[in-house]
Amino acid sequence: MKIGKLRKRNFTLKRTKIMTLTVASSALVLAACGSASTTSTTSSASSQPSGSATSGKITWWASPIAQVGIRANLISHFEKAYPKIHVTLESAPTNTDTNRSQLVTEISGGSTSPDVFMGDVIWPAQFGAHGLALPLSKYLPSSYFAKFAPGLVSGASYKGQVYGSPLFEDQGFLYYRKDLLAKANLPVPKTWQQLESESLTLEKDGLVKYGFVWEGNSYEGLTCNFMEYLTSAGGKVVNSSYTKAQLDSPAAIKAVTFMRSLITSGASPQAVTTFQEPQAMAVFNAGNAAFLRNWDYAWSNSQNPANSKVVGDVGVAPLPTFAGQSYPGYSNIGGWNLYINPHSKNVAADLTFIKWMSSSQAQTILGKTYSEIPTVQSVRQALASSSSTPPPLRVAAQTRLVPRPAGTPNYPQLSTAIYTNVNGALSGSTSVSAALKAAQSQAQTALGGGL
């Protein structure tokens, strides 16, 4: 499932597009950026990769990453470590849908290039189900995957195999106005109920127009938001085998009822049901909201004097949870993985490249030099201890992550069932109970392969 960063701007502008592509004789329906969930993964590697692990040529297909030069910098460091492996960069489209479409066309046609491709965290089930990516867990041991932050490997898996090696990630954060909380002598909220209460207090005291703004429009971003409330309420969208939807549940009712209450109480504006990332961020940056739920890039955007009136007044914290649950709550996962083309002639070198990209050196470059959130837990924790690290990266090590329920090739239909019906409940066009019953029915149809 990015303001100031072209690759992540596509989350806002392109997330809701659903494209059906014909691969071989099957219809391959692919979703936009997000993450996948799965059952347990293979514990040990058994396959022998083709080619040499220390020499050869590989092609890396990757979209531009944030700041200019980051891909070339990573390649340069890798080639210093492995001078007999030459990496050619192929710059992928910044539009996620176009990127995915071109990869599907090339790989399904049997092309051996690219060897390694950077792809959305939502792709494992869709690419794995159609033989468009190698199952990495057949070549890499479970110890390799153990170093990643909890939640990332399950999100990179499908039917017991890990298809993506987490490269860098994105997640939800709570942004808050430090100055307003100080004036009102209020703490940073740790529960959703506390956030609602403080929002109403700040509004009542005339300190701010709105309390809490977030992404409530009928699109992929609402699925992301919903997952954070649902998981904190103890619920899940589907069972572990992806055979039964679980949306008509007490936990889901609790989550959506609370989301609706944010609007009916006045803690969030009615217009939040039309907000995507840019709209929510614009309200917050204009100084009109005390709290914001958004991704890591919202930090740099809020500190840019060209488009923000709250420079220097913004704090960052993990998302809250429901009262009675352990803090913090859950952040939905976005970001990018590395995948291997199943037609690659030098899988051994591909694996060497992927393993180096998850090394402390590469992950530190991503985090310290370019402010991307590392996926390796030890690097996240090391960066969190430095005062020079941007706040989202410091907070990331404290958070709990939850992937979207994308462990099915039919995730686009599943997500649509979620966000259309939840949005209906938020806008008041249907009751919470009716919305979740409809979501349950549509989700079950999606899991069965229906449209």
pLDDT given for residue 95 in this prediction: 77
Q: What is the pLDDT of residues 141-181, one digit of tens each?
A: 999 999 999 999 999 999 999 999 999 999 999 999 999 99
Q: Which residues of the chain fall below pLDDT 50?
A: 1-42, 451
The fold for domain 6-170+334-402 equals D-Maltodextrin-Binding Protein; domain 2 (3.40.190)
CA–CA distances in Å: residue 247 to residues 111, 152, 296: 40, 23, 28
Q: Which helix (H) or strand (E) holds 282?
A: helix 277-285
Q: Is the CA virtual torsion 225, 231, 234, 240 positive or negative?
A: positive
Residue 114, preceding peptide bond in cis (omega within 30° of 0): yes
**Furthest C-alpha separation in the chain:** 68
Q: Where are the domains of the chain?
A: 6-170+334-402, 173-331+409-447
Contact 78, 197 (CB under 8 A): no
Residue 328, preceding peptide bond in cis (omega within 30° of 0): yes
Name the token pair of 409.
């090739």
pLDDT given for residue 94 in this prediction: 84
d(CA 155, CA 438): 26
pLDDT given for residue 44 in this prediction: 62
CA–CA distances in Å: residue 204 to residues 177, 186, 266, 415, 447: 16, 14, 10, 36, 45
Q: Which helix (H) or strand (E) holds 19?
A: strand 19-23
The structure's pTM equals 0.84
pLDDT given for residue 66 in this prediction: 65
pLDDT given for residue 29 in this prediction: 33
- Please determine whether the domains at 6-170+334-402 and 173-331+409-447 fall in the same fold group of CATH: yes
d(CA 64, CA 44): 33
d(CA 332, CA 316): 16
Residue type at 92?
Answer: A
Q: What is the pLDDT of residues 290-346, one digit of tens each?
A: 999 999 989 989 999 999 999 999 999 999 999 999 999 999 999 999 999 999 999
d(CA 127, CA 103): 10
Q: What is the CATH number assigned to the segment(s) 173-331+409-447?
A: 3.40.190.10
CA–CA distances in Å: residue 12 to residues 179, 361, 374: 29, 31, 22
